[in-house]
Amino acid sequence: MKRFVFLLIAFVPLLASATYGDDSEKLLTIDHYVRVRSTVPAIAGHTSQI
């Protein structure tokens, strides 16, 4: 009986959190920069990001 109560206490929060884990309606954005060596005369040869 004690084991059942322990398992119940241990797994109920896990089951409850599974219902709140779906956030697929939110928009996910990730910033990504690429470093390149510039050919613009003002900063020729310098590293810049695009």
- Domain residues for the domain of 29 are 24-50
Phi-psi region of 45 (alpha: psi -120 to 50; beta: other; left: phi over 0): left
Mean pLDDT, rounded, for 30-48: 90
Let me know if residue 6 belongs to a domain.
Answer: no
Q: What type of residue is 50? A: I
Within a domain: residue 43? Answer: yes
Q: Which position has the token pair 């884990």?
A: 21
Q: Rounded to whole angstroms, how far apart are CA atoms 33 and 37?
A: 13
Q: CA 5, CA 42: separation in Å to the nearest integer?
A: 72
Does the pTM surpass 0.75? The reply is no
Asked whether the predicted pLDDT for residue 38 surpasses 60, the reply is: yes
Amino acid at 41: P
Residue 48, domain member (yes or no) = yes
Q: Quick check: 1 pLDDT over 80?
A: no
- Number of domains making up the chain: 1
